[in-house]
Amino acid sequence: MLLNRASSGERWRIRPDGPDKVTGGLAYLTDMSVDHMLYGLVLRSEHPHARIKSIHTDRAKQLKGVHAVLTYLDVPGLNAFGIAHPDQPVLCEERVRYVGDALAAIAADSLAVAQLAAGLIEIEYEVLEVVDDPERALLPDSQQLHPKGNALHRTAFCRGDVEAGFKQCIHIIEDIYYTPRQMHTYMETEGGLFVPGEDGRLTVYSPTQHGFMDRMQLARILAVPQAGIRIVSSPIGGSFGGKDELNVQPYGALLAIHTGKPIKMHNSRWESVRAGLKRHPMKIAMKTGTDAAGRLLAHQVSILSDTGPYSTLGAEVLNFATEHVIGPYRYLHLDVNGVSVFTNNGMSGEFRGFGGNQAVFALEGQMDRLAEKLGMDPWTFRKLNMRAVDDLGPFDQPIVMTHGADHVWAAVAGCPLWQERNRLETTMDEKAEPWIKTGIGAAFTMHGAGLGVGIPDPAGGRLKLAEDGKIEAVFGYEEFGQGLLAALEQMLIEQFDFASEDIRMIIGDTDIVPDSGSTTASRATAMMWKSLQRLKKPFSDQLLQRAAASVDRPVEQLRLGKGGIKGADGDELLLTYKELAAAAGTPIICETSFSFPTSSTSRVGAHFMYTYSAVVVKVEVNTLTGRAKVLQQYHAVAAGPVVNPQGYLGQIEGGSSMALGFALLEESVMDKGHYIARNLDTYLVPTIEDQRGLIEVEAIEHLPEEDDYGPRGVGEVGSVTVAPAIAAAIRQACGKWVTKLPVEPSLLQEMPFFLRKG
């Protein structure tokens, strides 16, 4: 189904959080304030790498209006955080390892006073050599950033004998692909409000993708029981993975506890840039070979990932990249190695696509180069080597069987934009300026959902008939713009036949919601859907049984409907939900908890469920300026049933725009550990001018009849295949292969014909 407003009919709905968003009425957590609050500020390192000889805070503390200046000495519990492995200091003691490293936290009457105080803190550093090249960082003579050395994590996967495989190859392509340090650029920078309660509890209003993970980490830092902390974590002005790890929370929490007063924090953009996560820059070397007919025989990959100073999810991102450089293709011989390296560059971490974007850019680049070498159509070449329906996954692990790969492949093969490609090769647009060149390219992916084998991945939720007659849907997931509330509301309406007025959705509050796992890895919609499937019968049964007693009719003659209980064969309202709630009896609550389904393999990180997706793009290259412009896009996505058409379309369009930035514009350039671009005047993300072309999204909903896993996630796939498709289109347009992102305009510039010598 080509997804748009017309084809969606009544399923195209206004989001429940929409009216408050378009009127400015919605209070984001960084919009909150209370009387007598103080302003929190973090003093960060002047150097990317230095030993701390001394920190003196006396002068800052004496400044009028300053309430607290905290250093590592004031951290009562574990002075470190990190989702997977806590090795990032809350406040540095002996050493700083990047320019975002925190040394002191200040609370003052105003932000201006806090900034003055920051200037009065005296720190004596011994500057150390900056380790900014991940390759050099691995050499034995490099400065070691952590006790176990500079390699955070290594991966390997082998099948067959790759050297022997290459000996049999007729065609071999070898290339090295580079991808940039991309910035999330969520429009709402990190911040929040931290309120100590009279009962000794701390309430944290600060965006995160996993409130319970924050609560656990903060309890560890503050040395208090988890029950002593309440995390309120939605709504969020964008995250894309960037707010999953703790950011301002440790400082706001410490300052609130120390001063006994509410603390407001809201990072400036520069603060956000220097301290925030970025997409892991990767260098991916690939050697891939085929036989004479074009069948893949051998594939050898080496991934080098710059993880920056601390772990966060660097190892997990590398695992994901390792899986996705293998991807949906069949090889007899395979040898993949990866290493994630500590450096003094900025923090790398979780970012939409989770290492898949880098991997797929390289892998699909290889496929296009091989096809060209063979003189084959690139899509035909992919089909020849693509996984079959019942093939194992990239790590030879059992995966959920679908026809997704076939369907996506066929959708692209048949779409008008791909067919136009073949015409482009033979016809030239005579109206176009001679320096404008056009090309069409495509790329494919299978993208894993969920956290994978070996990582706790809980899911679940709760339905309740509240006292006021509202049906409460309670989940531990977060709304950061992706449309989770809209998806949840739509599922409740369509699966239970409730009206939107009957429903109250509650998310993002650790005091109320069950731990449903992290809102990440394209998992939330799938897990809410599964939860509702599991809750549907028990919850409906209880409601109907209670109703049956009230209206004195057999259960079989009743059904759930808009506003209340109705007769099974009519639309007459017999009992409102409010009346039902008032009927005496035990409260009606159903809860479910389970885990994201995983593959029966021991390979950590291997996935079980995948979304299949491909994109075709038409690109115009101006060979005078070297700028490439995306004119048109066609996305085919096989992710099972469309839960919310508007949200689905929005996620693919939005992911695609982010990938366009990754391909053509964005890079957080660093010089010896320092960021060059500090704000959005020099770090450029796509604007409306960059996104003027038509984007079509074909949603392939088909799943095998016995498949009960339901909808797959679409939060990430829209961002994964755009860059390699652009690279392929550039090749067709002007004959140049792109290996480094973002595409450097000088690579595409040509001497204009009128300047060439006759």
Partner 1 sequence: MSNKAVEEGVPYSLHCFINEGEESIKTAPSTRLLTILRDELKLTGTKRSCDIGRCGACMVLIDGKAVNSCLAMAYQCSGKHITSIEGVALQGIDYIQQAFLEEGGFQCGYCTPGMIVSVKALLDDNSEPTDDEIAEALSGNICRCTGYGGIWRAVKQAVERKRQLLAMEQKEELI
Residues 521, 539: Cα–Cα separation, whole Å: 28
Stretch that binds partner 1, among 180-188, 341-349, 457-465, 558-566 (CB under 8 A): 180-188
Residue whose CB is less far from partner 1, 589 or 677? 677
Continuous segment of H or E residues that includes residue 324: helix 314-324
Q: How far is the CB of 687 from partner 1 (least distance, A)?
A: 5
Binding of partner 1 at residue 10 (CB under 8 A)?
no
Binding of partner 1 at residue 721 (CB under 8 A)?
no
Report 21-40 residues binding partner 1 (CB under 8 A).
21-28, 30-31, 33
Which of 495, 500, 691, 749 contacts partner 1 by CB under 8 A? 691
284 closest CA partner among 182, 357, 373? 357
Residues 310, 98: Cα–Cα separation, whole Å: 9
Alpha helices, H only, 71-159: 111-120, 134-137
Count of CB atoms situated within 10 Å of the CB of 380: 13
Q: What is the DSSP letter of 246?
A: -
Which of 141, 552, 572, 689 contacts partner 1 by CB under 8 A? 689
- CB-count burial class (<10 Å; 0-12, 13-18, 19+) for 455: middle
Q: How far is the CB of 719 from partner 1 (least distance, A)?
A: 10
Residues 529, 495: Cα–Cα separation, whole Å: 10
Binding of partner 1 at residue 650 (CB under 8 A)?
yes
Residue 398: cis peptide before it, omega within 30 degrees of 0: no
Which of 161, 420, 515, 653 contacts partner 1 by CB under 8 A? 653
Stretch that binds partner 1, among 185-193, 357-365, 516-524, 613-621 (CB under 8 A): 185-193
Helix (H, G, I), strand (E, B) or coil at 322: helix
* Percent of residues in the chain assigned helix, strand, coil, to nearest 5: 30, 25, 40
Q: How far is the CB of 727 from partner 1 (least distance, A)?
A: 19
Which of 679, 701, 744, 751 contacts partner 1 by CB under 8 A? 679
Residue 481: strand pairing partners: none
Residue whose CB is less far from partner 1, 23 or 586? 23
DSSP 57-92: -HHHHHSTTEEEEE-GGG--S-S-B-SSS--B-SS-
Helix (H, G, I), strand (E, B) or coil at 234: coil
Contact string (CB under 8 A) for partner 1, positions 234-273, x = contact: -xxxx-x-------------------------x-xx----
Residue whose CB is less far from partner 1, 108 or 169? 108
Q: How far is the CB of 458 from partner 1 (least distance, A)?
A: 25
- Strands 627-638, 694-700: pairing is parallel
Extract the tokens encoding 182.
């991309």
Residue whose CB is less far from partner 1, 268 or 495? 268
Binding of partner 1 at residue 1 (CB under 8 A)?
no
Extract the tokens encoding 4.
């748009």
Residue whose CB is less far from partner 1, 70 or 273? 273
Binding of partner 1 at residue 5 (CB under 8 A)?
yes
Continuous segment of H or E residues that includes residue 540: helix 524-551
Which of 139, 140, 141, 187 contacts partner 1 by CB under 8 A? 187
Residues 412, 700: Cα–Cα separation, whole Å: 12
Residue whose CB is less far from partner 1, 264 or 462? 264
Residue whose CB is less far from partner 1, 545 or 691? 691
Q: How far is the CB of 674 from partner 1 (least distance, A)?
A: 19
DSSP 647-713: HHHHHHHHHHHHHHHHHHT----EETTEES--STTTS----GGG--SEEEEEEE----TT--S-PPP
Stretch that binds partner 1, among 12-20, 45-53, 285-293, 567-575 (CB under 8 A): 12-20
Burial 660-670 (b: 16+ CB within 10 A, else e): bbbbbbbbbeb
Binding of partner 1 at residue 687 (CB under 8 A)?
yes
Q: How far is the CB of 552 from partner 1 (least distance, A)?
A: 43
Binding of partner 1 at residue 656 (CB under 8 A)?
yes
Residue whose CB is less far from partner 1, 71 or 657? 657
Binding of partner 1 at residue 554 (CB under 8 A)?
no
Binding of partner 1 at residue 658 (CB under 8 A)?
yes
Which of 6, 139, 688, 755 contacts partner 1 by CB under 8 A? 688
Q: Summarize as ranges the residues that interact with partner 1 (CB under 8 A).
A: 5, 14-15, 17-28, 30-31, 33, 184-189, 235-238, 240, 266, 268-269, 480-483, 646-647, 649-650, 652-658, 679-681, 685-689, 691-692, 695, 718
